[in-house]
Structure formats: C-alpha cells, structure tokens
Amino acid sequence: MNRSARFAGRRLTAAVLTVVAVTTGATACSSGTSGGGSTKAADGGTYTIWDPYPQFDKSSPWAKLLDGCGTEAGVKIKRTAFDTSDLTNKALLAAQQGNSADVLIVDNPVVSTLAEAGVLTSTEENKLAVSGVDRNLIAAGQQKGKIYGTPIGANTLALYYNKAVLKKAGVDIAAVKDWKSLTAALAKVKAAGKKGITFSAIGTEEGSFQFLPWYWGSGAQLTALDSDQAVSALSLWKGWLDKGYAPNSVINNTQTTSWQEFATGDYAFAENGTWQLGNADKAGLDYGVIPVPAATGGDAAAPTGGEFVSIPVQDDTGRYATTQKLVSCLTNAQNLLETDTTLSYVAPTAEVQDKQVAANPKLKPWVDAVKAAKGRTSDDLGTKYPKISEQLWKAVQSALSGSASPKDALGSAQSAVK
C-alpha cells in the first residue's frame, strides 16, 4: 500500500490531540528537543533513529549502543532525541510529508495512534521477530490482530512499604494479600499514630494511570466504567480518604509529590513505579515492594509504561531489511539488559528478566508486577483509550472531592464516553 493511500482521509491534527492526551502521566522523562529530519540513503548510507531520551547525550551508553548497532549493520546512524509528546507530533508530521525516520521509539500508548494513522509497519511487513516478548507487554502494540513494533522495556506500578512504620503498627506484610487485608493494615497504622497510604489521583492521565491497578484489580473493564466492580474500586479509594487512611492531598498529587510524602518516612505505603528505585535508596528508608493486590487476592494488573521500538512506513521498502537488523540489535538479550538497567525498566523477555533479578534481587517484585501488567490501549481500545481515561480521572476527582458518589461519578463517566 503506498503512502498516499495510507493517509487518505486521515485527520492528523486529531491524531496529534489524541497522542498528547495519553503521554503525560506514565513515566518521567527529561524534557528537551533537537532538530529532526530523515536522511535517505541506500544500504551502507545513513539511517535515522528518533527517540524520547533527550537526557542521553552523544557520550552516553545509549547513544553508543545506537552507533554500535549501526556499525554492525554496516550503516551510519543519525539520532534525534525529542520530548515524548513532541516526538509523536513530529512523527505524524514527518509521515504526512514522506520523511519518516527509519526507527521510531515511542511511548507505548502512542503506538495504536500511529498505527491507525498509517505511520507504522506491522511485524508481518517488516519481519521483526517478537515471539520471545511477554504477551501482555506486546499487547500494547497490537491493533486489530497486528503487531506494530516491540517493547524495549517496561515499568509499572507497585506498592512501596516502610518496614519501620509497619513494624510499629504490628503489621505483617505477608498478610497483605487483598483489599480487605490492606485496609486492615492501614487501620492499624493510623491507630499507631502514623499515616497509611499515598498515591496520585490528580485530574490528568497520571491519575488514571494510578487508579487503573485498583480498577482492573476489581475485575472492571474499561468498556464499562459504571460496572459494580468499577464502583467498588472507586469506593475503596474514597473510603480510605473518609477514614483518614489516605491524605486529601492525593487529589492534587502527582506521582512525584506523592513520592515526596512517602519519603518523609511517615507513610506505611506509597503507590509508585520502578523509576523511584534510585530515590528510595537515596531516602535511606528501610523499604520493601509488593505488587498491588487485587480485590480478592493475587496481583492486580497495573498499567505498563515504557517505549516500543517501531519501524515507520518508507517509500523505499528496500530499507526495511537493514532497519530490521538495527531493531533486532537494539532489542537482543545483551543490549536489552544494559539498556533496561540504564532506564530502570524491567526487560520484556523472561530470559533478560531472570538476568536482571540475578544481578539485583530487589527487582523481583517489579518483575512480578510487570508480568501481571496490562497496556492501557490493550483489548483493542487503541485510540478510544484517551477519551475513556479522561472520563475516568474526572470521575475519580468528583468522587474523592465529595461532589458525587462513586456510583454517580462513574455513571456520568460512562454516559460521556458513549
């Protein structure tokens, strides 16, 4: 299919708005931009790679890896780093102009938007091997049965806990296995004079991202925001605020400010991500990590963060063979291990996950959480997700602020989505 056919009838401005809505809350990346543009050449020439890592300069291990993969494939690499939202907008514009990069590394919720807009090739077209990737992670890049790229790594949410606070309250973390036992632990912590749990419920994608483990852990589906299961999840959070187990500040908390609350040492639990591991060590807390529990036990599915390595559509299809070599190099076992260590990501394959845990046992609960995780655009939601998410965070805000009951707030959300 030629480029003009792929883009016929597309409204890229709408797609850009969709992208902006879904890329603000999952992971923290340094901001910054640099100029872009694809240099077209035959094999043995220059291949372009666009990524969302402006924090890594030319001397970084990441940049050296890209150059090394280029050398291995017999080509030179021209790398351009963008801020996450800027990257996706630039990718859409470049595709419209017939000037796409050869390799595009984007936040996983954006993949479905770019695929729907005709920007990306599927693995059927580019012959990229993805059989070893965990199925729940690859699902974030699936649309209508086709896969558009491969994850370079993943992060997700879990519960950090303060061992000293729990010890003072007489709480055995091994007994925290479901919502009932977690709530009982929070009650003991409050009775002992400490604070229970902090999280982010801000009215943005970040708030939806943090609510999803509880939402999915209830058994709710994003296609039915007003289900009884969904109401039970929002009622759980509302009950914690009403009983003083969680602070009212969660309504405005970002993941950063909620982490700062936990770092004071006063809280028993904090919902946060792998990206806080370095800060946890710096804070000097005696902490542990458990996956977010589901309502009746087991690990809840938390949403995945992290990027996909994808191959955009090119007019010169002869470039795909070399591009595939570049992507395969970036995502082989050894390079994934090094890259995911740098990015504080859990690898997308069991082989590399095992190596990560062997090198750092503290990653074991994070590997478990990632194995239970789920892409926000999975279940073929694709570009429907941003609208659903917006109504979800509005419902959370409405219920936690007391302006509507959880049931009414979610009922309004479902009506708005329809």
The per-residue b/e assignment along 23-55, b for 16 or more CB within 10 angstroms, e otherwise, is bebbbebeeeeeebebebbeeeeebbbbbbbbe
What is the fold of 157-302+381-417? D-Maltodextrin-Binding Protein; domain 2 (3.40.190)
Residue 253 confidence (pLDDT): 96
- Non-local (6+) Cβ contacts of 408 within 8 A are none
Task: Give the model confidence (pLDDT) of 66-97 as tens digits.
Answer: 999 999 999 999 999 998 878 988 999 999 99
Residue 88 confidence (pLDDT): 85
Q: Which of 24, 29, 37, 141 is nearest to 91 (CA)?
A: 37
- Non-local (6+) Cβ contacts of 64 within 8 A are none
Mean residue pLDDT across the chain: 89
Residue 289 confidence (pLDDT): 96
What's the rounded mean pLDDT across residues 336-348?
Answer: 90
Q: Exposure of 192 by Cβ count < 10 A (0-12 exposed, 13-18 middle, 19+ buried)?
A: middle
d(CA 175, CA 181): 7
Percent of all residues in the chain with a pLDDT value above 70, rounded to a whole number: 90
Whether 157-302+381-417 and 3-155+306-372 are alike in CATH topology: the answer is yes
Which residues are bridge partners to 106 per DSSP?
308
Task: Give the model confidence (pLDDT) of 205-260 as tens digits.
Answer: 999 999 999 999 999 999 999 999 999 999 999 999 999 999 999 999 999 999 99
Range of weakest confidence among 24-33, 198-207, 224-233, 371-380: 24-33
The side-by-side arrangement of strands in the sheet containing 307-310 is 76-81, 46-51, 103-107, 307-310, 150-151
What's the rounded mean pLDDT across residues 26-34?
Answer: 37
Task: Give the domain ranges of the chain.
Answer: 3-155+306-372, 157-302+381-417
d(CA 354, CA 367): 9
What's the rounded mean pLDDT across residues 373-390?
Answer: 90
Residue 165 confidence (pLDDT): 98
d(CA 164, CA 364): 21
Is domain 3-155+306-372 in CATH 3.40.190.10, yes or no?
Answer: yes
